[in-house]
Amino acid sequence: MTVNSTQTSSPQQVTEQKDLKPLFSKRFRGYFPVVIDVETAGFNAQTDALLELAASVLTLDETSGKLSIDETIQFNIEPFEGANLEPAALEFTGIDPENPLRGAVDEKEALTTLFKLVRKKMKAAGCQRAIIVAHNAAFDLGFLNAATNRCSIKRSPFHAFVSFDTTTLSGLALGQTVLAKACIAANIDFNNSEAHSALYDTEKTAELFCFIVNRWQDMGGWPLSIDSNEELEKANK
């Protein structure tokens, strides 16, 4: 006769298991922030072409708790079939969608490659869901979601509507909301002649986000996470 027994973890074992998790998994309540920037042929995510996409994944030092850029990838993207190309938007970004030297790929290839990288890094960090970080994040997230839907990708690693907006964060921390001015206030080099490319803007936004998070830690604002409802209830008593 076989007897099945169920072992229950002691509170000490549960605490030890929590402590073994990467520090990153605790920093943003299980979210894995990925810095995104897009360049587009207009403002309407449903009708206007997505032309460039860049993403910086981040890493958190286990000893210092400081956030930094781990890796950045960038794609030039072919306009989807029937996409609108606003002349004013193309003039502003300086992008020529017809230039064969762009080495553009289709949206699905770009998103598939990005999502694969994000899932790999997210798993290593012990996080459950990716969250977009961007300057005016609603704009970038809207284009990312629209492209994901067009490509019929069923499972995106990114939360569909939650985001970290560096416009708001830099307004709070630095008194500036324009990316260039916020970077200057944070003593981050910013070259306006290189701006409005997805790669450059992503890396500068990532530097800005890391600066704000790390500065908050230096001021005593970390750690703040509460790991369970039980601990939350205790804190509210």
Annotated active-site positions, please?
A: 196
Specify the residue for token string 């794609």: 75
Residue 229, Cβ density class (10 Å: 0-12 exposed, 13-18 middle, ≥19 buried): exposed
Identify which of 151, 150, 131, 129 has the alpha carbon closest to the alpha carbon of residue 141: 131
Q: What angle do CA 76, 78, 80 make, to 5 degrees?
A: 140
Instruction: Count CB neighbours of 31 within 10 A.
Output: 21
Q: Which residues contact 142 (CB under 8 A, 6 or more apart)?
A: 45
Quick one: tokens of 144? 């990312």
Identify which of 183, 165, 164 has the alpha carbon closest to the alpha carbon of residue 174: 183
The reply to whether omega before 157 is within 30° of 0 (cis) is: no
